[in-house]
Amino acid sequence: MSIIQTLRDKSWIAVVFVLIAMVAFILGDLFGPNSMLLGNNKQLVGEIAGEDVTLQEYQAKVDELTRNMAIQNGGTPPSEAQMPAIREQAWNQLIFEKAYQKQFEALGLEVTADEQYDMVQGNNIHPWVRQSFSDPETGEFDGERIRTFLSALKAGQVPPEQQMMWLNFESQLIPNRLQTKYENLLTSTNYITKAEAQREYQKQSAKASLRYVYVPYRSVADSTIQVSDSDLNAYLKAHASEFKQEDTRTFDYVVFPLSASKEDSAAVYRELAQLKEEFKQAVNDSVFAVNNSDVSVAPRLVMPSELPTELADASFTLQTGEVYGPFTNGNALALYKIGETDETGESYVRASHILIKPAADTDADKQLAKKEARRILGEIKGGASFAEMARQYGTDGTATRGGDLGWFGKGRMVKPFEDAVFAKQGTGLLNDVVETNFGYHIIEVTQPQDSKRYKLYTVQRELEASEGSREQVYREASRFAGTATGAEAFDRLQEENPAVNRFTASRIQKNAQYVNNISGRGARDMIRWAFNDAQVGDVSGVFEADDQYIVAVLTGKTEAGTPALADVRSEVESEVIKEKKAEQIKARLKEISEKDLDAIAKAYGSGATVNSANDVTLGSGSLPGIGVDPLLLGAAFALEPNNVSQPVAGDNGVAILEVTSKEPAAEIADYNTYKGEVEQRLGSRTQYAVSQVIREKSDIEDERVKYF
């Protein structure tokens, strides 16, 4: 009693603690980073060129693009699978507006009213307009088509959805023209000198013939190369720019498939079995099939060779109006009704065979093979199973199928085989073996000749997990997630349940749309968890994705910038090993006193080969026996004829080169063609580089992963 009284007397303390906790929670919301009282009610999805991008601004852009696509698709909204592309397009438009526009304004670039008219109706039609208003038969731009459209638009004679499509289309012309002007302005600063044009001509026209000793890096076993951490760190430091990385997450996950249970399958089977008689009595087979199928399968005329496996089985004699099944069809059960038939004029037959090949192409070996084939034929005639004998003695790919060749028509098999099969009346074993250029065949016709096509109607029901099965699987996944309190527990539980498959998702980026072969909302839910909520070692809740429940454990994370050695160890190690192999091979080759290439290769031993190449150019890029290796090609063209180089390290091996002849490019009067080629390449690189530089200098922070 005294204890109970004490608890009653002290109960006010508990009340105070609860009140303090509630006040702290409320104040945290009021004065936290998203507090509306402090004006921090912005939900941000990123920053571009110093400007915040709010969730509302970004979503408005997504909604606009979504509406546009729906209009283009006749009112059908985009699917879930199309939304990632729309979100990416919205983000790129914001980058353009906030990063590119500043560049345009700084340079005073604009598109005047006269230019806007010229793009649509003048002498310099925009490529998009030209494409949209071309004659469908000739492909040529038709100015009258756009003038007629604009007149109708002005008169209000164009449907509202087309008006909206035009306004959306027109709104993109000016930004595109501004970008074109900007890129052309920068590209016009490129200047190709005559010397550069001459070098391009020389690269394409000067020829050399050479011989070379080549030792590929793969000829040296990786296990023989010693690599220390100091080697790896030094290489990473020297090549840091080559290993720059984005934020990534690595996680393992286990899957709990949502497949139909035996009870679910049995229930679908019973439903179809009950429909069988109704299907048989149906007057309109097409309507019945559509009304009673999960997925509509169009009626079709099929050859015997195209019948479902179960209908093609020799035990069936197909009858018009009969319903067969239910049969398994992938992840579904199906009923098949045979409708009307017609004659194709071409016969099909189904047969099985056992091929006995001679050991060699000699008369003696052929006689032995024939004798063996006749022995097996005798056993089958005596009652042995044809299928079992085919599995035991067959020598081609049909052996695992009991010799079954399926249905086939004339012209599919070699002539002696075809003649023997189609000469058989009805079904059964051929009396003697048949010789072809492949060997000796024991043949059984399993389905008689048929020249009909069958109209096939299908009622199909998908085998899906019932609500009860889904709940059962979810409970299993939840139990796993609740018990796996960390990475060690996750590992232990999976080892204790080997039937639960485990997978690894390596270095997933924040805007990735796939986790291995998982896509859609489930993949994005996993990625958002990995980037927003989880620390290494944390175990997730249950995700649903692609007809399965998933539980994940975060095993690693990398931050943007230069990675730690542990994150790229295998890649760095591969490059360091290659460098050390090059040093080792070069050192061995330098020790050889021979000057003749064949003698050098012989003295070096295993791994060294001598090859030759005739009339190669610098532009060709590759050498026989080596492949693409610009370093070795450049070294070859630096040599004078009949000179032998020192060992040269290339991309994939080390070579000693000897130029046997050189044919310099003849002098020409006009290098403009080659100047144009260089200008075109440089222009393309400039446009790409401009885009990259603007993005880099805009310090883009993409945090859409918080919401999408």
pLDDT of residue 68: 87
Strands, sheet with 248-257, edge to edge from the N-terminal-most edge strand: 502-509, 248-257, 548-558, 543-544
pLDDT of residue 4: 32
In a domain, 288, yes or no: yes
pLDDT band, very low/low/confident/very high, at 316 (cuts 50, 70, 90): low
List Cα–Cα distances, 604 to 226, 381, 583, 608, in angstroms: 21, 65, 15, 7
In a domain, 314, yes or no: yes
**Residue 442 and residue 320 share a domain:** yes
**pLDDT at residue 685 tops 50:** yes
**pLDDT at residue 659 tops 80:** yes
Strands 44-48 and 701-702: antiparallel
**Residue 381 and residue 456 share a domain:** yes
**Residue 117 and residue 11 share a domain:** no
Question: Cis ω on the peptide bond leading into residue 326 (within 30° of 0)?
Answer: yes
Mean pLDDT of 25-42: 46
User: For residue range 232-288, what is the model confidence (pLDDT) as tens digits?
Assistant: 999 999 999 899 888 999 999 999 999 999 999 999 999 999 999 999 999 999 999
**Residue 509 and residue 599 share a domain:** no
Which structural domain, as residue segments, surrounds residue 621? 207-240+568-663
CATH no. for residue 226? Answer: 3.10.50
User: For residue range 345-392, what is the model confidence (pLDDT) as tens digits?
Assistant: 788 899 999 999 999 999 999 999 999 999 999 999 999 999 999 999
Q: How many structural domains comprise the chain?
A: 5
Q: Percent of the chain at pLDDT above 90? A: 66
Listed residues 526, 558, 590: the one ending a domain = 558
User: For residue range 134-159, what is the model confidence (pLDDT) as tens digits?
Assistant: 888 888 888 888 888 888 888 888 88
In a domain, 19, yes or no: yes
**Residue 335 and residue 447 share a domain:** yes
Scanning the structure block, which residue is given the tokens 């022995």?
A: 375
**Residue 517 and residue 588 share a domain:** no
Of 168-172, 342-346, 555-559, the one with minimum mean pLDDT is 342-346
In a domain, 277, yes or no: yes
Of 155-164, 183-192, 653-662, the one with minimum mean pLDDT is 155-164
**pLDDT at residue 23 tops 70:** no
Q: Which residues, 6+ apart, have CB-to-CB distance to 153 below 8 Å?
A: 163, 166
**Residue 177 and residue 217 share a domain:** no
pLDDT band, very low/low/confident/very high, at 290 (cuts 50, 70, 90): very high
User: For residue range 407-465, what is the model confidence (pLDDT) as tens digits?
Assistant: 898 999 999 999 999 999 989 999 999 999 999 999 999 988 888 888 999 999 999 99
Q: Percent of the chain at pLDDT above 70? A: 94
**Residue 458 and residue 542 share a domain:** no
pLDDT of residue 321: 92
**Residue 453 and residue 368 share a domain:** yes
**Residue 265 and residue 253 share a domain:** no
In a domain, 375, yes or no: yes
**Residue 550 and residue 528 share a domain:** yes
In a domain, 691, yes or no: no
**pLDDT at residue 3 tops 80:** no
In a domain, 696, yes or no: no
User: For residue range 595-612, what is the model confidence (pLDDT) as tens digits?
Assistant: 899 999 999 999 999 999
**Residue 444 and residue 514 share a domain:** no
**pLDDT at residue 7 tops 70:** no
Q: What does pTM read for this prediction? A: 0.69
pLDDT of residue 41: 53
CATH no. for residue 355? Answer: 3.10.50.40
Listed residues 558, 583, 612: the one ending a domain = 558
Q: Which residues, 6+ apart, have CB-to-CB distance to 696 below 8 Å?
A: none
In a domain, 324, yes or no: yes
Q: Is residue 622 a contact partner of residue 629, using CB atoms and an 8 Å limit?
A: yes
Q: Is residue 322 a contact partner of residue 431, using CB atoms and an 8 Å limit?
A: no
How high is the mean pLDDT of the chain?
A: 89
